[in-house]
């Protein structure tokens, strides 16, 4: 029986019929709209960008949440870098140690204090330069970095260099120097020479790591020679 005949029979029987008004129809609830925060927008947009195109803030965020290698499983936090983003001198070390892993800053503790003294000897401070490491996460037990770990972190370092545009890089320590220069040459053959690093052909010098100098204070004289060379080269490069 169609709807009209049914309503006619009910009316004849004295039974009132009801019409469902449009306003009374059941409307399915819409899913709540999630408003994307500014922080989420930055994170999502950064995740889609190549590392070479990241801004400072996007790069910091990507490093902070990086899981490209297994070091993220054992670190306390990443150690991005510290100093002036307009620095003429960029110091690059090997990797964070125990103190750096806890504090989130490169070159702290006894080695950091010695580095500060070395900088003061050539009239520089941590605030005037930029300090970073090849690795942004601490290797367990301060072991040497693995090639795959260096490969995972190198794009971050190259982006830092491109954003800072330093006039000179100082590689601190044998491991940092050998990785940056892709060589197995000993420190004795690397010191006192100027190299070129990365796609921007940034001039690079080499010196001893402060932690090594604490163990071998007799080498401080050579480190002082390296610092004098840094001063000389910076003076020339800053005029260009």
The CATH label, of 3.40.50.10610, 3.30.750.24, 3.40.718.10, 3.40.470.10, for the domain at 47-237 is: 3.40.470.10
Residues whose CB falls within 8 Å of the CB of residue 77, separated by 6 or more in sequence, listed in order: 64, 101, 104
Residues of the chain with pLDDT under 50: 10, 18, 20-27, 29, 31, 34, 36, 39-43, 45
Report DSSP letters for 22-79, one per residue.
GGGS--PPPPPPPPPPHHHHHHHHHHHS-GGG--HHHHHHHHHT--SSGGGGT-SS--
Delimit the domains of the chain by residue range: 47-237
State the pLDDT at residue 7.
59
pLDDT tens for 157-175 read 999 999 999 999 999 999 9
- Joined together, the tokens standing for residue 51 give 């590392």
Provide the pLDDT for residue 23: 42
User: Residue 25: its pLDDT value, please?
Assistant: 44
Q: What are phi and psi of 126, to 5 degrees?
A: -60, -30
Dihedral pair phi/psi, residue 92, rounded to 5°: -120, 125
pTM flag (> 0.75): yes
């Amino acid at each position: 029986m169609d709807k009209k005949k049914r309503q006619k029979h009910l009316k004849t029987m004295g039974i009132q019929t009801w019409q469902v008004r449009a306003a009374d129809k059941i409307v399915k609830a819409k899913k709540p709209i999630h408003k994307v925060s500014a922080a989420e927008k930055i994170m999502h947009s950064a995740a889609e960008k190549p590392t070479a195109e990241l801004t400072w803030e996007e790069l910091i965020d990507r490093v902070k949440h990086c899981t490209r290698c297994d070091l993220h499983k054992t670190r306390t936090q990443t150690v991005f870098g510290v100093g002036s983003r307009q620095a003429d001198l960029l110091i690059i070390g090997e990797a964070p140690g125990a103190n750096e892993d806890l504090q989130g800053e490169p070159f702290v503790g006894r080695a950091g204090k010695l580095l500060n003294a070395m900088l003061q000897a050539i009239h520089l401070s941590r605030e005037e330069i930029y300090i970073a490491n090849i690795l942004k996460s601490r290797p367990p037990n301060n072991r040497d970095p693995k090639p795959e770990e260096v490969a995972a972190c190198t794009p971050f370092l190259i982006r830092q260099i491109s954003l800072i545009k330093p006039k000179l890089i100082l590689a601190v320590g044998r491991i940092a120097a050998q990785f940056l220069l892709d060589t197995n040459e000993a420190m004795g053959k690397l010191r006192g020479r100027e190299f070129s690093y990365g796609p921007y052909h940034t001039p690079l010098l080499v010196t001893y790591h402060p932690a090594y100098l604490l163990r071998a204070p007799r080498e401080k004289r050579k480190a002082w020679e390296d610092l004098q060379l840094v001063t000389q080269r910076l003076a020339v490069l800053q005029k260009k």
